[in-house]
């Protein structure tokens, strides 16, 4: 699958392609082209390197509360409590599925969330 995404990215003007399913998320990104023509030709011929990214999703419907003010670049360890969702008086912890770094905060604290809604994007270490 990565080879096919790399081939799709190769001739296009796009800088990245992302595929997301319920089980996984894959992002293939193109590095910035070097200024030398020989290096640019090598870059076009090389397949893009995959970036390991995982989305943290809501496990229930309710109101999301972050454990702290998370920012892009914050380090997280597997099992770190990122926040919780309050639903019918019950708090469901949302934890990091792996060691990595917060790449994107997708939902603000205090916001209502739906089951399966992405809350964070984590770059896997």
Domains of the chain: 2-53 (no CATH), 54-124 (2.40.50.100)
Q: Does this model's pTM top 0.75? A: no
Residues 6+ apart with CB under 8 A from 122: 53, 54, 55, 56, 76, 96, 97, 98, 100, 101, 102, 103
CB 57 within 8 A of CB 119: yes
- What pLDDT is attached to residue 111? 85
Q: State how far the Cα of 63 lies from the Cα of 58, in Å rounded to an integer.
A: 10
Q: What are phi and psi of 8, to 5 degrees?
A: -65, -40
**How does residue 12 score in pLDDT terms, banded at 50, 70 and 90?**
low
**What pLDDT band is residue 40 in, cutting at 50, 70 and 90?**
low
Distances (CA, A) of 36 to 32, 42, 48: 12, 10, 19
pLDDT digits (tens, 9 = 90+) for 49-99: 555 888 999 999 999 999 999 999 999 999 999 999 998 889 999 999 999
């Amino acid at each position: 699958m990565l080879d096919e995404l790399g081939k799709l990215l190769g001739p296009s003007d796009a800088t990245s392609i992302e595929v997301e399913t319920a089980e996984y998320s894959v992002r293939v990104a193109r590095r910035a082209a070097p200024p030398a023509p020989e290096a640019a030709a090598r870059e076009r011929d090389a397949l893009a390197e995959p970036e390991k990214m995982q989305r943290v999703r809501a496990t229930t419907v309710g109101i999301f509360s972050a454990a702290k003010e998370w920012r892009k670049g914050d380090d997280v360890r597997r099992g770190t409590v990122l926040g919780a969702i309050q639903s019918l008086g019950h708090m469901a912890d949302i934890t990091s599925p792996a060691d990595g770094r917060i790449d994107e905060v997708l939902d603000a604290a205090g916001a209502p969330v739906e089951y399966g809604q992405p809350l964070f994007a984590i770059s896997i270490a």
